[in-house]
Amino acid sequence: MATVSEQIQQVYIGLLGRAADLPGLEYWKQEIEQGALSLEQLRANIVNEQPEYATGLGALSRASVIVELYSRMFNRVPASNEVGYWAEEGGSTVDIDLLVFALVNGADQQDSLVLSMKTAAAEQYTNAAGDNYDPTAATDAVKDVGLSVPGITVAFTDADATGAADEYQGTDNNDFFSATGGIENSDATLDSEDTLADNNLNDEDILSITSATDIIEMASLISGIETINISLSSSIPSTINLDGIVGFGTTINVTNAGDSASDSVLLLNVPGDVKLITGDKINTVSAMIEGKDAVLDLSAATNIQLQNLDENDVTIITSDGAQVSLDGTSGRTDSVTLQSTGTVSIESEETDQVEILKLSGNNGDVLYLLDSEGYLPTEVVFSGSSNITLGLTLDQVTGLSSLDTSSSLATTTIRLLSGGTGDFSNLNVDFIEFASAEGAGTYSLSQRQGILLSSDLGSAITFDTPTDGAADSINISVAASQTGSIDVSDFEVINLSSVSNAVELSALTGSESGSIVNISGSQNVTLASITAQGVNANHLTGNLTITQSELLTSMTGGSGDDTFTIVGGDFALDAGSGTDALLFTDTLDLSANTIDIINVEKMQITADAAASVTLNSSELDNKPIILSGTGEKDTFIINMDESSLNLSSLNVDSDTVSISINGADLTTRELTIVGSGVGDVITGNSSDDTLTPGEGADRVSGLGGDDMIDLAESEAAADIVVLSSVNVQGVDSIDSFNVQNDIIAWQNTDLTAESNVPSGSNLQFAYTDTALISAGGSTFTLGASSSEFSIVELNTTLDDDIELTKSSTGSDLLQALSEDSTPVSGIQVNAADDKVGLISYQNNNAYLWHLEQSGSSDALVMAEDIQLVAVLYDVGQGELSSSNFIVA
């Protein structure tokens, strides 16, 4: 049957007398193949819309149109009876513009040949001209094609029963022969006494044979005939004996005529060097092969049996759903080539098996299934440009070798339908597919094979390699999640890809010391457990979910939203692009590990109970990461490992997680810390630190040194500044202290009245305005007893002859309490060994002092026992109150 493109060309040739232009051809071809339009609509478009038709055929009489159509399509003048039939008799009912279809469908063999030659010439011109199409040249391209076709037309006449013989010799032109076939001694005109030969192998001779019975006798010699058409009309299965045909590229077409004809045929003595095509009404074909290099196009049949196959290769073309039975020749290495699309089942007799299978596609992907478990081929050859899959059991793979000669664009696959222990190192194939839940086992691979897991194997599978290289690699494509473990520890490079579906691997075991797992694909991949040195997913566009092992020291994410569950140990992680997350399932301290984390957008503690994760500050410095917890409030503990830390870029879920920053162990550097802005706990070190907690209710401890603490925030919150023990406390400079909300936490060991009071309790607060001492050298007595009060606020205006600063000493304070140039001798407290906090004001600053009586019986605190511990800037006289002080 002509292709859609050829049918379109025939309409153009008949109605317009020329080859189609390429854009028009491609448009109509696409629309017709997709079912949007039809050939009838093409005809209607030309007849009703094209001026070229209106001024051509459309302007002629019916008889003239008939003559012109015969000339354009068949290159001949129609006989008078032909004109009469179409103009005045039975064919006159056909609309004149539909006559083109009627002539195509009713053409005899000679006319069909001329039309096919014209069609081929039109196809050649259209494709060659392309954008340089010229209507005149398109007309010339088809006008005279086929003029030299006529040869002889002969019908065999002597019936077999007469015993006479028909002997014919063809000419150098296109000859047409016809005969009837049948059983022995029948009325058929073709029998074993006949001969038909043609010496010109460059013409187009046709022999047409019709039969209502078996064709048992073929001519003793049929040679040089390019096409043999055999038309059957028997209602029972037919047998055709092709003995006598000499193939040289001959095409043999076997068709069934009529709806009642049988759909089964037995072909005997199929010669070599022929192409035999069975029609679309023939479903069952049995063929006994005698020659070599025959091609049997049985694509319309679903049941195919081939016998007498041997080392002289034969090619069988089948289609989706075909069942092919192969029978070889004893004592020979039999071979067969199969071409198909879809799914084809293959079986072979347990005796006389066909040893070599040559498999290819037929312009489409194909799956070949070896149905009979007893069929054990020895070699498979893959070829062509289509994807080919061969399905078979492990027993059928054992001892099998394969050769892959297919194009680089084609994929070849052996699909394993059972499992156990197998050696696949002799299989030259792109992939070995595990498609059965019983596929688990141990398998030895070569370096050239990939693995496709298309079914959940359910239990452990191990792949190893007979080589002992330093960089053995394995390619694993996963199309189904695996609940069983995969052991690839024999390989140093593991290339893992997800295909068609999101997949989860319960356990992937590589080499503990050297395996690198490369992950690619567009689907999501989950690795619940992995043993390897590194994972690289930078070619994965789906989401990666992975649980780290302590052996996994290197992880690289892809462009998806990846999730990494961290269990500990040293590691480097580049999460890649996308929105990536680190999960911590339990309390974990990573501060002593060597880690490097980049391109992570989220960190979450997912433990059921409250948990903490300890990280070094360098992993969070200046990084826009979302921190969160789960359930009970969790804590991220950040140990300073560098001198500066800025957490202002963090986005912290304060409902589920808190931040604690610890700089105590980094004693050799002055720290600069900017908090996250959601209520951090910040601890400096003994150096002079700069601490800026930011928004939220923060708790800040300078922990010694002269620290700079800035409590500025846009929304007021209750910040707490913790003063360290006076044994280590330097002088803290505190900016933006909000007297309405912020708090100073004092160590209870530094205050006599609070020595046994629990943390968080408000300090006992007293107020005094004792006047300055006018007689230098006298004692300044606090107006409140230090045994009852922890903090005494001195609202006395200090002598302005001395200006207090953060560097002021006890001597400076004693001088400021005197009206003249001689400082007071000391400050009188309640009793010996008393400790008390003192607040003084000057220049809109509040100065916090620690007073400790040294143990003498006079309860007098001398200059050396007075220590400035903090300065609160921009805090006016009397603005502090008891609510601003608690026990640390």
Residue 225 falls inside a structural domain? yes
- The residue-averaged pLDDT of 735-748 equals 96
Same domain, 98 and 19: yes
Residue 455 falls inside a structural domain? no
Tokens in use for 534?
């590194």
pLDDT value, residue 222: 92
- The residue-averaged pLDDT of 667-688 equals 94
Same domain, 76 and 160: no
**CA distance readout (Å), 5 to 18, 19, 186, 485:** 14, 11, 44, 54
pLDDT value, residue 150: 61
Residue 510 falls inside a structural domain? no
**Do residues 813 and 825 touch, judged by C-beta distance below 8 A?**
no
How far apart CA 324 and CA 348 sit, in angstroms, is: 8
User: Is the torsion defined by CA of 747, 748, 754, 760 positive or negative?
Assistant: positive
* Residue 162 per-residue DSSP state: G
Which residue reads 């049997």 in tokens? 296
Of 190-199, 559-568, 663-672, where does mean pLDDT reach its minimum? 190-199
Same domain, 19 and 128: yes
Which residue reads 């040893």 in tokens? 355
pLDDT(468) > 60: yes
Q: What angle do CA 486, 487, 492 make, to 5 degrees?
A: 120
In sequence order, what are the beta bridge partners of 672? 644, 690
pLDDT(1) > 90: no
What whole-number percentage of the chain has pLDDT above 70?
A: 97
Same domain, 158 and 77: no
**Do residues 563 and 544 touch, judged by C-beta distance below 8 A?**
yes
Same domain, 51 and 153: no
pLDDT value, residue 446: 79
Return the amino acid letter for 85. Y
pLDDT value, residue 638: 98
How far apart CA 528 and CA 459 sit, in angstroms, is: 15
Residue 519 falls inside a structural domain? no
Tokens in use for 769?
């305005």
* Residue 573 per-residue DSSP state: E
- Residue 786 pLDDT level (bands cut at 50, 70, 90): low
Residue 770 falls inside a structural domain? yes
Q: What is the pLDDT of residues 12-34, one digit of tens each?
A: 998 999 999 999 999 999 999 89
Same domain, 27 and 69: yes
- Per-residue HEC secondary structure of 469-481 comes to CCCCEEEEEECCC
Q: What is the pLDDT of residues 325-347, one digit of tens each?
A: 999 988 889 999 999 999 999 99
**CA distance readout (Å), 455 to 387, 501, 530, 543, 795:** 20, 12, 20, 21, 84
pLDDT value, residue 785: 55
Beta strand segments in 137-290, E: 150-155, 167-169, 174-180, 195-197, 206-211, 221-223, 227-232, 238-241, 250-256, 264-270, 274-278, 284-289
Same domain, 179 and 88: no
Q: What is the pLDDT of residues 208-256, one digit of tens each?
A: 999 989 999 888 899 999 999 999 988 888 899 999 999 888 999 999 8
Final residue of a domain: which of 122, 143, 164?
Answer: 143
What whole-number percentage of the chain has pLDDT above 90?
A: 58
* Three-state DSSP state, 25: helix
pLDDT value, residue 346: 95
- Residue 829 pLDDT level (bands cut at 50, 70, 90): confident
H or E stretch covering 70: helix 62-74
Same domain, 35 and 165: no
User: What's the structural domain count of the chain?
Assistant: 3
pLDDT(551) > 90: no
- The residue-averaged pLDDT of 715-738 equals 94
Residue 616 falls inside a structural domain? no
pLDDT value, residue 512: 67
Same domain, 160 and 137: no
**Do residues 346 and 366 touch, judged by C-beta distance below 8 A?**
no
Same domain, 112 and 11: yes
Average pLDDT, the chain: 90
Q: What is the pLDDT of residues 371-400, one digit of tens each?
A: 867 788 999 999 999 999 999 998 888 889
How far apart CA 418 and CA 392 sit, in angstroms, is: 8
Helices 62-74/109-129 angle, 10° precision: 70
pLDDT(437) > 90: no
- Residue 447 pLDDT level (bands cut at 50, 70, 90): low
pLDDT value, residue 352: 85
pLDDT value, residue 691: 97
Of 199-203, 316-320, 641-645, where does mean pLDDT reach its minimum? 199-203
pLDDT value, residue 501: 84
Neighbours of 695 (CB within 10 A): 20
- Residue 787 pLDDT level (bands cut at 50, 70, 90): low
**Do residues 661 and 675 touch, judged by C-beta distance below 8 A?**
yes
Final residue of a domain: which of 109, 125, 143?
Answer: 143
- Residue 418 pLDDT level (bands cut at 50, 70, 90): confident
Final residue of a domain: which of 115, 143, 171?
Answer: 143
Residue 270 falls inside a structural domain? no
- The residue-averaged pLDDT of 519-548 equals 94
Q: Which domain covers residue 95, as residue numbers?
A: 4-143
Residue 687 falls inside a structural domain? no
Which residue reads 């039969």 in tokens? 211
Q: Taking the chain, what is the end-to-end CA distance rounded to the nearest angstrom?
A: 97
Same domain, 59 and 174: no
Same domain, 772 and 857: yes
- Residue 161 pLDDT level (bands cut at 50, 70, 90): low
How far apart CA 673 and CA 681 sit, in angstroms, is: 11
- Residue 705 pLDDT level (bands cut at 50, 70, 90): very high
- Residue 156 pLDDT level (bands cut at 50, 70, 90): confident
pLDDT value, residue 350: 73
pLDDT value, residue 469: 66
Beta strand segments in 541-594, E: 544-547, 554-556, 563-566, 571-574, 581-584, 588-589
pLDDT value, residue 327: 92
Neighbours of 775 (CB within 10 A): 10
Pairing of strands 250-256, 860-861: unpaired
